[in-house]
């Protein structure tokens, strides 16, 4: 296991700079995923860490020792490629032994390592086969086994599941997670699939055009994106955004939308520091005990029509715009019961028909519902039940 540090790392191909001064620390034993659109520099950054690409500027450190000047074989890393890169004229066992034989290890040591890797990956029955006799999943296991036998400080995976079908990818995801838990090694995984990143990673690094947009846990990136790129890239469907003008009021601030609707901005310090954090945006609640503060509720299905009312309804503390800002603001502007949410409103009302009134006294119409609330947050809508009830009564 190893801690890896990148310090102001840059990469240029002649006059074109593709990696722009990246600073990153990957903790010992973590499962870190590099995710981003195609061409953002994920694989290039991984290859520089492995020593397969020369670092134009900056430093790469492994366990505190600088290694960007070392050969790949001297860095103590093992890389699993997208194309598997198995030797077609060798059997599975010979593929696993080849790297160890080049290191001139003793034969008993080689046999022990091969047997251990085959047992971990459950490929003992495949040791006598050639690569052309293996399925895609079996070839992937052999490629991972060739990395395991080296007993490296860190594993580097360059989109290893991209050649597999959807069902096999899901299965291999769970196998990689189990492998990480069993070995406890540092693993760095490159993918453009955000689903893989969100389900596998301890830490996600979002890259865009050779720069790091945000680093954090899956929940942190989903709930508190740093900028619009992360907000739109993470999550399915992506976060909806609205353009508006910030207005300063006597008792705070508000956002005026193009439709004319005004959304008050909640104070950043409205939540007590002792209140627990939660992914769900709704009315704050007081925890019953210290145990409640340390336990996070399991997330309900993202597309369910309604969420259980027993889920703590607490907005997370944040000083930057997040997914919860719109929900909290609309909660202040619209009177509605909390504890319910839905993903869509299917009423057949005519546009502009009155539905009810806000706390401010302004009328709420079906046009406001469609253009304001439905556009602000289509996934988590603690006031959708109120809107649905108003639409149902108005259409009768």
Domain boundaries, the chain: 4-233, 244-292+303-395
Distances 206 to 227, 234, 362 between C-alpha atoms, Å? 11, 9, 42
End-to-end alpha-carbon separation of the chain, Å? 66
Comparing C-alpha atoms, which of 240, 251, 326, 328 is closest to residue 284?
328
Phi-psi region of 100 (alpha: psi -120 to 50; beta: other; left: phi over 0): alpha
- Which candidate, 85, 77, 61, 69, places its Cα nearest to that of 187? 77
- Please report, for residues 50, 336, 364, the alpha-carbon distance to residue 78 in angstroms, rounded to integers and kept in the order given: 8, 56, 60
Residuewise pLDDT in 10s, the chain (396 residues): 689 999 999 999 999 999 999 999 999 999 999 999 999 999 999 999 999 999 999 999 998 899 999 999 889 899 998 888 899 999 999 999 998 998 889 999 999 999 999 998 889 999 999 999 998 889 989 999 999 999 899 999 999 888 888 888 888 898 899 999 988 899 999 998 888 899 999 999 999 999 999 999 999 999 889 999 999 998 878 888 888 898 888 888 888 888 888 888 876 544 444 444 433 333 333 444 444 444 444 544 443 333 343 434 344 443 344 445 545 554 454 444 443 333 333 343 444 444 444 444 445 444 444 443 333 334 444 445 555 554 444 444
Pairing of β 244-249 and β 211-216: unpaired
Question: pTM for the complete prediction?
Answer: 0.65
**What sign does the CA torsion over 315, 318, 322, 326 have?**
positive
Residue 116's closest CA among 149, 89, 143, 147?
149
Cα–Cα dist 30/183, whole Å: 11
pLDDT of residue 137: 86
Q: Is 123 helix (H, G, I), strand (E, B) or coil?
A: coil
Whether the bond between 165 and the residue before it is cis, its omega within 30 degrees of 0, is no
Classify strands 31-35 and 4-13 as parallel, antiparallel or unpaired.
unpaired
Strand runs labelled E in 93-251: 154-158, 186-191, 203-208, 211-216, 244-249
Q: Which CATH number is associated with domain 4-233?
A: 3.40.50.300
Structure tokens at 221: 């990136």
8 A C-beta contact, residue 44 and residue 202: no
């Amino acid at each position: 296991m190893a801690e890896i540090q990148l310090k102001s790392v840059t990469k240029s191909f002649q006059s074109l700079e593709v990696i722009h001064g990246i600073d990153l620390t990957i903790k010992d034993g973590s499962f870190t995923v590099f995710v981003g659109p195609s061409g953002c520099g994920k694989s290039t950054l991984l290859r520089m860490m492995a020593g397969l690409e020369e670092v134009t500027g900056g430093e790469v450190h492994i366990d505190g020792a600088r290694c960007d000047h070392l050969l790949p074989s001297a860095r103590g890393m093992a890389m699993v490629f997208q194309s598997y890169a198995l030797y077609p004229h060798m059997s599975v066992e010979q593929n696993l032994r080849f790297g160890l034989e080049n290191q001139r290890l003793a034969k008993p040591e080689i046999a022990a390592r091969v047997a251990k890797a085959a047992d971990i990956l459950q490929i003992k029955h495949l040791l006598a086969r050639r690569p052309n006799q293996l399925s895609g999943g079996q070839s992937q296991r052999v490629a991972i086994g060739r990395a395991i036998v080296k007993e490296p400080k860190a594993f580097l995976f360059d989109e290893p599941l991209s050649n597999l079908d959807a069902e096999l990818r899901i299965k291999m995801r769970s196998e990689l997670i189990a492998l990480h838990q069993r070995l406890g090694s540092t693993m760095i995984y490159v993918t453009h699939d955000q689903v893989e990143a969100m389900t596998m990673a301890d830490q996600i690094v979002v890259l865009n055009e050779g720069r790091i947009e945000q680093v954090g846990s899956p929940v942190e990136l989903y709930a508190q994106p740093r900028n619009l790129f992360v907000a739109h890239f993470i999550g399915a469907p992506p976060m909806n955004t609205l353009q508006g003008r910030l207005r300063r009021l006597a008792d705070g601030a508000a956002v005026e939308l193009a439709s004319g609707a005004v959304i008050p901005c909640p104070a950043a310090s409205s939540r007590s520091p002792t209140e627990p954090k939660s992914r769900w945006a709704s009315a704050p609640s007081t925890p019953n005990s210290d145990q409640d503060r340390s336990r996070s509720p399991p997330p309900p299905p993202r597309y369910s029509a309604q969420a259980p009312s027993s889920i703590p309804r607490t907005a997370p503390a944040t000083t930057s715009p997040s997914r919860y800002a719109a929900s909290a603001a609309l909660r202040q502007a619209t009177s509605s019961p909390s504890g319910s949410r839905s993903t869509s409103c299917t009423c057949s009302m005519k546009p502009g028909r009155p539905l009810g009134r806000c706390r401010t006294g302004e009328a709420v119409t079906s046009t406001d519902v469609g253009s304001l609330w439905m556009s602000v947050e289509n996934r988590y809508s603690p006031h959708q039940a109120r809107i649905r009830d108003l639409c149902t009564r108005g259409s009768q």
